[in-house]
Chain A
Amino acid sequence: RKEVEQDPGPFNVPEGATVAFNCTYSNSASQSFFWYRQDCRKEPKLLMSVYSSGNEDGRFTAQLNRASQYISLLIRDSKLSDSATYLCVFEEGTYKYIFGTGTRLKVLA
């Protein structure tokens, strides 16, 4: 099993739609989880951390399911500006972060 697995997409959704991505991880000892966003030919930027109890930041909701070893990202009311690649990240050990290959999202007008 790969360390991190993400559906590469692309997910093509209309503006205003709700879309969700999952990311599975293999290291059950992982303690920290994150979602990053990467625009085309740009650097990754932190979107949000993922907390055990789940957390929300505006239109974005992140969840952690330790039993099934996955994290999820839900985007409500999609905007054109949400079009990007979303990378899940987990901390495998101190100062060592594993990035998924990313899920491409295209929000269509």
Chain B
Amino acid sequence: DTAVSQTPKYLVTQMGNDKSIKCEQNLGHDTMYWYKQDSKKFLKIMFSYNNKELIINETVPNRFSPKSPDKAHLNLHINSLELGDSAVYFCASSLGTSGTQYFGPGTRLLVL
């Protein structure tokens, strides 16, 4: 059984488009995250949610809007995509602040 799943795995789109990435975890965790890993492999936190509430927003442009409909899901919607948004986006989850995060397989986004 997949613990943290993301869809889609690959996303190729044109500049200016709007796209969404979905994330689901079946671990019973209460905390979920979005990370961005750029071409230099630097993994940077974007958002943290605990019990569906936004806790951390790391000065991400407001073109990025996360939504957590319930504790098991954290989706990411991106408006007006830019070339610089090309990266791998990882969703992760944890139980509280345990620090042990389980990552999804990543969504490879390419903006042309």
Chain A interfacial positions (CB closer than 8 Å to B): 32, 34, 42-46, 49, 85, 87, 89, 91, 93-99, 101-102
- How many B residues touch A, CB cutoff 8 Å? 24
Interface of chain A, helix or strand or loop or mixed?
A: strand
Mark B61-91 against chain A: 1 for CB-CB distance below 8 A, else 0.
0000000000000000000000000000010
| B31-52 interface bits toward A, Cβ cutoff 8 Å, 1 = contact, 0 = none | 1010100001111110010100
Q: Are A43 and B99 in contact, with the CB atoms below 8 A? A: no
Give the distance in Å from the alpha carbon of A94 to the alpha carbon of B33 in the complex: 12
Task: Give me the interface of B with A, judged by CB distance under 8 Å.
Answer: 31, 33, 35, 40-45, 48, 50, 55-56, 58, 90, 97, 99-106
Report yes or no: A32 in contact with B99, Cβ–Cβ below 8 A: yes
Say yes or no: A97 contacts B40, CB within 8 Å: no
Residues of A contacting B50 with CB < 8 Å? 95
- In the docked arrangement, what's the CA distance between A91 and B55, Å? 14
B56 touches A102 (CB 8 A): no
Best-buried of A42, A45, A95, A98 by chain B (most CB within 10 Å): A95
